[in-house]
Amino acid sequence: MEFKDLLRRVDEWDQKIIIKYNGFGGKPFTKILKFISFFGRETLWISLIAFYLLIWYDPFLLTNISAIFLTGLLLIAVTKKIFNRARPFERLGEGKIKILERKPSSRSFPSWHSYNIMSYGLLFGVFFVKSPIITFLMLVLATLVSFSRIQLGVHYPSDVIVGSLLGIVGFLLSINLIVPLFQKIITYFDTFITYEIDYQRINSMLSSQVWYIILCITIYVMIFLSATYRGIKDHLKRSMS
Q: What is the pLDDT of residues 61-101, one digit of tens each?
A: 999 999 999 999 999 999 999 999 999 999 888 788 999 99
The stretch 162-186 carries a mean pLDDT of: 95
Q: Which residue has better confidence, 93 or 240?
A: 93
- Give the CATH number of domain 25-202: 1.20.144
Binning pLDDT at 50, 70 and 90, where does residue 233 land?
low
The number of residues in the chain equals: 241
Select from 55, 24, 33, 50 the least CA-distant residue to 219. 50
Residue ranges per structural domain of the chain: 25-202
Contact 118, 68 (CB under 8 A): no
Predicted TM-score of the model (pTM) = 0.89
Mean pLDDT of the chain: 90
Query: What gap in Å lies between CA 20 and CA 13, rounded to an integer?
Result: 11
Binning pLDDT at 50, 70 and 90, where does residue 48 land?
very high
Element (H, E) at 64: helix 59-83
